[in-house]
Amino acid sequence: MPTATPTASSERLLSLDFMRGLIMVLLILESTGLYGHLNEYADGGPFQWFTIQLEHHPWHGLRFWDLIQPGFMFMAGTALALSLDKQWKKGVSWGQSFRKALKRSGWLFFWGVLDYAVRPHGLSFELWDVLTQLSFTLLVAFLIFRWSIKAQLIFSIGLLLLTEILYRCIHIPGFDQPFTDQHNFGNYIDTILMNKINKGGWVAINCIPTAAHTIWGAATGKLLLSDKPGAVKVRYMVIAGLACLTAGFLLDATNITPIIKRIATSSFVLASGGYCLLLLAVCYWWIDLRNHRKHLQFFTVVGMNSIFIYLFFEIVGDRWFTEYITAIASGLLKIVSAPAFVQTIISCLCVFALEWGICYFLYKKKIFFKL
């Protein structure tokens, strides 16, 4: 099989498109309610361990679904590196790129706030959406992009240390328990920013430690753009991934810092970042180096319009589309006396098929929405 190293200037990194598409497919399926129904059906059965992996861990621990947002933010960093390389090769100045990055972050912040703004009881201001977090992490990754990879990594570790200090050393009455839900420093900051605390334990200042994910993604993008042989790039990613995993799980196992996704503890950021690096290493080796490119379109058509489809199922789907299509599919299945569980699963898959079809239509028409 060919082992030549592709460059970003000559062709797209299909591994990145595939990973982004895979994550978006999983998110679309989640938005249809499919995972919740599967988990209810598997309750107490042999498949519950699998279905429960498709839900966030309630607090201390790590499940598969906890890796989705880190993967999203990590790939955003990698895409940033490829985009900046393309811009600067075309003669775009740093100032022009900065204005573009600032505009993009502004739109991400706007859509992230809008996603949570409309509630049954009225308008609401919340900062917990992934797009709101990404508006911050992308801007940070851009501002330090021209630093050496070593300097970027040191800065990212500094963000994790800053998070540790904020949670452990600032003692606010009622919010002085670093790793306790509803009583930690992140909850206190939310009372200042939004005058409320998220009942699920999510905090807005997650954007500080998770900026490391985007920075690591950008650093990985630099590596992929380098002239190093493909095998060397894969080796660097694997070593870095294993190092992050080891550090993250050691912090948790020694009770220094527990792995908690909802407040993005340093151990969580390290462990999840390690998984992101390993997954990209495998995909890059298999797809871009070994040239296994068949059957990727199912995922890439979604990944190439990731922002659009995310906003579609979060805003349109959540408030109208999903319920409408489910009502139609369930009604037709009732005519043939299909069991309730079958009605539910097929209805979810119908919603998914239509949303995937929208992405496919845009792909065929070469319409790609970007911020």
Domain ranges of the chain: 14-51+67-364
- Could you write out the three-class secondary structure of the chain? CCCCCCCCCCCCCHHHHHHHHHHHHHHHHHHCCHHHHHHHHCCCCCCHHHHHCCCCCCCECCCHHHHHHHHHHHHHHHHHHHHHHHHHHCCCCHHHHHHHHHHHHHHHHHHHHHHHHEECCEECCCCCCHHHHHHHHHHHHHHCCCCCHHHHHHHHHHHHHHHHHHHHHCCCCCCCCCCCCCCCHHHHHHHHHCCCCCCCCCCHHHHHHHHHHHHHHHHHHHHHHCCCCHHHHHHHHHHHHHHHHHHHHHHHHCCCCCCEHHHCCHHHHHHHHHHHHHHHHHHHHHHHHCCCCCCCHHHHHHHCCHHHHHHHHHHHHHHHHHHHHHHHHHHHHHHCCCCHHHHHHHHHHHHHHHHHHHHHHHHHCCCCCCC
More confidently predicted of 295 and 228: 228
Exposed/middle/buried for 66, CB within 10 Å: 0-12, 13-18, 19+?
buried
Amino acid symbol at 234: V
Inter-CA distances, 134 with 169, 306, 365, Å: 26, 14, 28
Instruction: Please tell me whether the overall predicted TM-score, pTM, comes out greater than 0.95 for this model.
Output: no
Among 202-216, 256-270, 310-324, where is mean pLDDT lowest?
310-324
> How far, in Å, CA of 261 to CA of 201, rounded?
10
Report percent pLDDT > 70 for the chain. Answer: 97
Q: Inform me whether the pLDDT recorded for 238 exceeds 60.
A: yes
Banded pLDDT at 8 (limits 50, 70, 90): very low
> How far, in Å, CA of 195 to CA of 251, rounded?
32
Instruction: Report the pLDDT averaged over residues 110-131.
Output: 84
More confidently predicted of 53 and 6: 53
Q: Inform me whether the pLDDT recorded for 9 exceeds 50.
A: no
Q: Inform me whether the pLDDT recorded for 115 exceeds 50.
A: yes
Instruction: Report the pLDDT averaged over residues 106-115.
Output: 91
User: Taking the CA of residue 330 as centre, how many other CA atoms within 13 Å lie in the half-sphere pointing to its CB?
Assistant: 11
Name 354's Cβ contacts closer than 8 Å, sequence gap at least 6. 321, 325
Instruction: Report the pLDDT averaged over residues 37-45.
Output: 85
Banded pLDDT at 322 (limits 50, 70, 90): confident
- Looking at residue 4, what is its pLDDT? 37
Q: Inform me whether the pLDDT recorded for 325 exceeds 80.
A: yes
- Looking at residue 11, what is its pLDDT? 56
> How far, in Å, CA of 122 to CA of 128, rounded?
18
Tokens of 218: 């950008």
Beta strand 122-123 with 118-119: parallel, antiparallel or unpaired?
A: antiparallel
- Contact present, 216 and 273 (Cβ < 8 Å): yes
Banded pLDDT at 293 (limits 50, 70, 90): confident
Instruction: Report the pLDDT averaged over residues 183-209.
Output: 95
> How far, in Å, CA of 221 to CA of 141, rounded?
12
> How far, in Å, CA of 177 to CA of 184, rounded?
5
Average confidence score pLDDT of the chain: 91
- Contact present, 3 and 230 (Cβ < 8 Å): yes
Longest dimension (CA), the chain: 64
- Looking at residue 303, what is its pLDDT? 87
Instruction: Report the pLDDT averaged over residues 308-314.
Output: 88
Among 53, 37, 55, which Cα is nearest to 345's?
37
Instruction: Report the pLDDT averaged over residues 119-142.
Output: 89
- Contact present, 124 and 116 (Cβ < 8 Å): yes
- Looking at residue 1, what is its pLDDT? 33
